[in-house]
Amino acid sequence: MLELQDIHTYYGASYVLQGVSLQVNEGEAVALLGRNGVGKTTTIRSIIGFTPPRQGQILLRGVQLTRLSAATISRLGVGLVPQGRRIFPNLTVRENLTVAARNARNVGGISNPEGGWTLPKVYHYFPRLQERQKNMGNDLSGGEQQMLAIGRALMTNPQLLLMDEPSEGLAPLVVREIGGTIRQLKEAGLSILLVEQNLKLAFEICDRIYIMNKGRIIFKGSSSDLQADTTLMHQHLGV
Ligand SMILES: Nc1ncnc2c1ncn2[C@@H]1O[C@H](COP(=O)(O)OP(=O)(O)OP(=O)(O)O)[C@@H](O)[C@H]1O
Ligand SMILES: [Mg+2]
């Protein structure tokens, strides 16, 4: 589904991603872990086209994304659930969702035929959003905002969902609930790249794990491989 081949990404003169390679297979959920500031969000920004890599390749089902605009990459089936959620505070829940769908369709005048996400389908996965559909974005709890951020990404009909720390700042019970829904989305066939600092959540959802440090991938393996390596867990994940 997704392949990053030795990508190098900069912010101006600041050299952040120093040769990152990773893969997400079709229908797979993969975690990208690591401490603060190691380059997780920059990896996501590189994929979605906000901060394109200066070197290396990114392929989505064999299609080169590296020189495409963020709008085109989105239309090709990459959905983003950004860190900090970034929902529209002055639109209702329903408007947040429909605006995303409209924007997705407006890109190049064609919609991604796969997925077929609609309001009722989003409400099926997140009944709470239906209950709150007339509430403003800024009138939601953190958990509801996160559900809305995920729902909004789904309305663009992604094949690959990039999720940047969906559990950040949420109470354990809410994390469990959202984690359950992410697992259902995976079981429905969506491919997922999950950036997390919540290891329990990553282990529950993901088939494979990558760990980053200082702009490089320093571990790649199954969750059981990782859990067996206490030194690595301690050094790079602080547990
Ligand atoms: N817009 C930017 N301009 C310049 N430097 C940036 C910018 N965004 C991030 N950086 C730097 O790039 C490095 C990687 O940041 P990034 O946001 O990718 O880390 P992260 O792993 O997502 O961290 P966190 O877990 O805190 O979200 C950090 O040193 C950060 O200070
Ligand atoms: Mg980040």
Mean of pLDDT values over 127-140: 96
Share of the chain above pLDDT 90, in %: 84
Tens digits of residue pLDDT in 168-196: 999 999 999 999 999 999 999 999 999 99
The string of DSSP letters for 74-115 reads HHTTEEEE-TT----TTSBHHHHHHHHHHHHHHGGG---SSS
Mean of pLDDT values over 28-56: 97
pLDDT for 217: 97
Q: How many domains does the chain have?
A: 1
d(CA 207, CA 204): 9
pLDDT for 107: 55
pLDDT for 28: 96
Query: What is the token pair recorded at 120?
Result: 């009722």
CATH code of 183's domain: 3.40.50.300
- Cβ atoms of 167 and 201 within 8 Å: the answer is yes
Q: Look over the chain and give the mean of its residue pLDDT values, rounded to a whole number.
A: 92
pLDDT for 105: 63
Task: Quickly state the pLDDT bin for 111 (edges 50, 70, 90).
Answer: very low
Residue 50 has pLDDT above 70, yes or no: yes
Any ligand 1 atom below 6 A from CB of 41: yes
pLDDT for 109: 43
Residue 112 has pLDDT above 70, yes or no: no
Any ligand 1 atom below 6 A from CB of 231: no
Residue 84 has pLDDT above 80, yes or no: yes
pLDDT for 231: 86
Query: What is the token pair recorded at 140?
Result: 């939601």
Residue 83 has pLDDT above 50, yes or no: yes
Residue with tokens 């709150």: 132
Domain that holds residue 159: 2-237
d(CA 47, CA 49): 5
Q: Which of 9, 33, 35, 42 to mutate to test the pocket of ligand 1 (most atoms within 8 A of CB)?
A: 42
CA 215 / ligand 1 centre spacing (Å): 10
Q: What pTM was estimated for this model as a whole? A: 0.93
